[in-house]
Amino acid sequence: MANSAPPTTDDGRYERQPFHFTERITADGRDGRPAEPGRYRIVVSRACPWASRTLVTRRLMGLEDVISVAVADPIQDDRSWRFTLDPGDVDPVLGIAFLADAYHKADPTYDGGISVPAIVDVPSGAVVTNDVFQVTLDLATEWRAFAREGAPDLYPEALRGEIDEVNARVYADLNAAVYEAGFATTQEAYEDAYARVFACLDWLEERLAGQRFVVGDTITEADIRLFTTLIRFDAVYHGHFKCNRNKITEMPVVWAYLRDLFQTPGFGDTVDLDHIKRHYYEVHANINPTQIVPSGPDLSGLTTPHGREALGGRPFGDGTPPGPAPADEVIAQQL
């Protein structure tokens, strides 16, 4: 069982490691890694919000038959992400038992953290990138030649400046700040992160009151990055990470927005609340030493009417919703 405390600074602040593998996979292969069907495999944990972004983007773009996915066990051991959900505890495509094997194939001297998502080059078995920020943008743009007909434009050129600006704030004050609150080892560090989390949520409550999506009138990268944090908030961050001023269900606008996205094909059908809760409560034993996984909260309201259609907007723009998830990727919802 993984039980090491996350890295913190001298003043008790959680510090995320920089990405070590940052090669880009592009349409023209200008960096030596061309987008090519069947060549790469995305390793994810459905528990991880950063990895879940890739699952949402892949579904929306219709890349299921182009880039395969390996799903790691939500419960890590000392060697981190493992493939114990697969027969023989080995990923059937990569032929490895641990994601660390692909990291060390790329760099035998690497001694940092093993993170998901990670894109692995199947022929060589080596990790190409674990840069979650660039991965989703590239799936939405550099892989477009292989996307389904009707795939949405998740990073429209005219809105990229605003999307980047919103993403920067949401990352610093929500996506990352919930972890900074949860892993803080001093009261001051915790209170700073806590304040930023709820200032950001209050800003979103106001911003989303008059518009259906975070930027523009269609779903973009900004919505994907926000969704994967919001869907975990009440189940994990509210209690486990002590972000407990209020739940998302107690914020009328953000709660309706979350329901809207959850009910949109490509979002809710990638969510595995069982994996999410078991990972956080069992793996973070420094925070939850009993490793008891809570039975709640009741999230059945995610499927209730949200009324956001009244704000207008076109979720997929000029495109269309994705079709049903592949049979081997269907998730039994725990609502």
State the catalytic residue, choosing from 14, 110, 155, 179. Answer: 179
pLDDT tens profile 236-260: 999 999 999 999 999 999 999 999 9
- Residues 335, 91: Cα–Cα separation, whole Å: 29
pLDDT, position 242: 98
Is 237 assigned a catalytic role?
A: no
User: What are residue 69's phi and psi, to 5 degrees?
Assistant: -125, 135
What's the chain's average pLDDT? 95
- Residues 212, 315: Cα–Cα separation, whole Å: 9
- Residues 313, 291: Cα–Cα separation, whole Å: 43
pLDDT tens profile 49-95: 999 999 999 999 999 999 999 999 999 988 899 999 999 999 999 99
State the catalytic residue, choosing from 14, 40, 48, 243. Answer: 48
Task: Give Cα 306 to chain centroid, integer Å.
Answer: 23
The percentage of the chain sitting over the pLDDT mark of 90, rounded to a whole number, equals: 89
Is 155 assigned a catalytic role?
A: no
pLDDT tens profile 288-323: 999 999 999 999 999 999 999 999 999 999 999 999
Q: Pick from 275, 40, 297: which is nearest to 143 by CA? A: 40
